[in-house]
Amino acid sequence: MAGKLPVGIQDFVGLRQDGFVYVDKSAYIYRLAESGKQFFLSRPRRFGKSLFLSSLRAYWEGRKDLFQGLAIEAMESRKESPWQPHPVIYFDFNGANYREENALESILAYHLRQWERLYEIEPGENGLGERFQEVVKAAHQNSGRRVVILVDEYDKSLLESMENKELQEKNKAIFKGFFSVLKGCDEHIRFVFITGVTKFSKVSIFSDLNQLNDISLSRDYADICGITEEELLACFRPEIEAMAKIQQMTFDECLAELQEKYDGYHFHPQGAGVYNPFSLLKALYDKDFGSYWFSTGTPVFLVNKLKFLHYDSSKLGNGQAFVKDTLLMDYRVDDPNPLPLLYQTGYLTIRSFDRRKSGYTLCFPNQEVRYGFLDSLLPAYVPKMSNLAGTDIFSLDEAAEQGDLEGMRDILAAIFAGISYTDERSPFEHYFQTVIYLVFTLLGRFLQCELHTSRGRIDCVMETEKYIYLFEFKRDVAAEAALRQIEEKGYAERFAADKRTLYKIGVAFDSEKRELSDWKVGLVG
């Protein structure tokens, strides 16, 4: 029988009391509590960080009733004094608009007022940091037990002020004055757990808590958030069966589609892979394969950053996105490499680790992210595209299905004419190559870019039910040269046994006029 799906639920207490399905992560709570004192975890947005932090809060408050039947129940029962409640100071930085001045100070002051009332503290003229220190000391003295400090989405104010450097620096300074006091409160603190999307370099929350254990890339905690394949089958089999029936698929077909769309996240090269929990649960709830996680937040600042840095976006999808391990978890605003932030925000994931080079190769985790991100990137380069009737991706796909070569040429010419190019510091070729990659990749399953053969590399192969198109792109030379390359390199040989109609297409682009200048077609066989 299908259960109640916890779509978007971040409160552990409500989830357990109201009978929602819970993917048991409680063993991690016990491991953390018994193995250390101060931890940091980075995971993408809507990936279950808040729910896990809420479960930590319930544990440290001694809410034994909420953990009945979970893994931690037996673990905790072996202790001499189980389920000992501790005072918990919980910071939730969600919900505020940090693009506004003084938003961070306001939410810190709001939290402090609650605890000052609880412990009957008169704040006087003290600053936020000093008030926080007094709260920690009072909580310890009043309860007789050391304090637990939980911080949810510490970096929300920094991410939202990415495009306002002055405000971001101000928020960093506020953090320095606030959290630096913890260094002098060590005797009063039992446990600290901080979550965020990214670990900003030079933010004092990390330098002041010099024993903070970053478990973001730990194999032991790779699936602390997210849903593994094993957990999916153990907890949601009835939901998959119901979805398969609605979609007129077998169980295995439905499971394979869920994998393609929402699986694929790896937070350690040898760690367990996980599904995006928000998208997976929403898909099971709706019994449909939508783009749920991506639609909850358009990565505008990431798109702008890629364009500003003239980053070769094709590297994101062809296994060439490499980053040193020392850079992956520490983000600097002025970093010319966008890969660490793309990884931390969930648009890329770990594909492999090269021990010799001490670095990671990153890739898109799944179809939802791959096509969603590239689709949002295309308007940054071709802003006129949506205003030109008949020049969208679907029109190009339809022309290819019909074998309409002239239609394909006209659509590509219109797309290239709409390229936005205002930065004279960057060669126009960057824009040309990026648009080609985006347009053809977004055509999806019918296309392969830079397909390797024994004698070279085909720029693009597009396949439909009746046709195969071999594209070779050239800049500032005649399209005839592109056709000759297809012939000389024998690109068509691998398709010799295919019964479909095979075209070779040479496309030339004039970088001075910034237009598609020549188009030559040849029939193979």
The per-residue pLDDT for range 111-160, each reduced to its tens digit, is 999 999 999 998 888 899 999 999 999 999 999 999 999 999 988 888 88
Banded pLDDT at 459 (limits 50, 70, 90)? confident
Answer yes or no: is 373 within a domain.
no
The verdict on 472 and 427 lying in the same domain is: yes
Give the mean model confidence (pLDDT) for residues 300-320.
73
Q: Which residue has the higher pLDDT, 337 or 23?
A: 23
The CA-atom distances, in angstroms, between 42 and each of 48, 51, 279, 295, 367 are 11, 14, 19, 21, 23
User: Averaged over 46-66, what is the pLDDT?
Assistant: 97
Give residue 111's pLDDT. Answer: 93
Tell me which residue of 97, 210, 193, 194 sits closest to 154, measured CA to CA: 194
pLDDT of 388 over the 80 cut: no
Which CA distances in Å does 296 have to 287, 358, 442? 18, 34, 20
Residue 461 has pLDDT above 50, yes or no: yes
Query: For residue 6, is it within any domain?
Result: no
Domain termination site, one of 237, 270, 295: 295
Residue 458 tokens, joined? 């085909």
Residue 435 is assigned to a structural domain of this protein: yes
Residues 319 and 442 in one domain: no
Position with higher pLDDT, 263 vs 413: 263
Pick the residue with more confidence: 385 or 469? 469
Decide which of 157, 189, 221 is a domain's last residue.
Answer: 221
> Is residue 17 situated within a structural domain?
no
Place of tokens 């769309």: 261
Q: Does 453 share its domain with 497?
A: yes
pLDDT-derived band of residue 284, with 50, 70 and 90 as boundaries?
very high
Tell me the percentage of the chain whose pLDDT exceeds 70: 88
Going by C-alpha positions, the residue among 507, 504, 506 that lies closest to residue 515 is: 507
CB 518 within 8 A of CB 507: yes
CA-nearest of 40, 48, 45, 2 to 23 is 48
Amino acid 421 reads Y
Asked if pLDDT for residue 319 goes beyond 80, the answer is no
Are 270 and 144 members of one domain?
no
Quick one: 122 and 138 in the same domain?
yes
DSSP notation for 353-419: EETTTTEEEEE--SHHHHHHHHHHHHHHH-TTGGGSTT-SHHHHHHHHHHT-HHHHHHHHHHHHHT-
| CB distance 363 to 347 below 8 Å | no
The phi-psi region of residue 497 (left if phi > 0; otherwise alpha if psi is between -120 and 50; otherwise beta) is alpha
The pairs formed by 4-12 with CB atoms below 8 angstroms and a separation of 24 or more are 5/239, 5/281, 5/284, 5/285, 6/51, 6/281, 7/278, 7/281, 7/282, 7/285, 8/278, 9/51, 10/50, 10/51, 10/54, 11/51, 11/54, 12/51, 12/54, 12/55, 12/57, 12/58, 12/66
Q: Are residues 39 and 126 in the same domain?
A: yes
Residues in CB range of 12: below 8 A, 6 or more apart: 51, 54, 55, 57, 58, 66
- 338 and 253 within one domain: no
* 136/384 Cα distance (integer angstroms): 56
Are 190 and 54 members of one domain?
yes
Same domain, 74 and 42: yes
Domain count, the chain: 4
Percent pLDDT > 90 in the chain is: 54
Per residue in 7-44, pLDDT (tens digit) is 989 999 999 999 999 999 999 999 999 999 999 999 99
Q: How confident is the model at residue 435 (pLDDT cuts 50, 70, 90)?
A: confident
Q: What angle do CA 113, 115, 120 make, to 5 degrees?
A: 90
Which is more confident, 220 or 379?
Answer: 220
Separation of alpha carbons 72 and 59, rounded Å: 10
- Is residue 151 domain-resident? yes
| Same domain, yes or no: 87 and 125 | yes
Residue 10 falls inside a structural domain: no
Question: Residue 14 falls within a domain, yes or no?
Answer: no
The predicted structure's pLDDT at residue 422: 53
Give the pLDDT mean for 252-265.
97
Q: Domain end: 199, 221, 243, which one?
A: 221
Is there a domain that residue 377 lies in?
Answer: no
If asked whether residues 247 and 342 sit together in one domain, one would say no
On whether both 86 and 204 belong to a single domain, the answer is: yes
Domain around 329: 300-368
Residue type, 214: D
Q: What's the Rg (C-alpha) of the chain?
A: 27
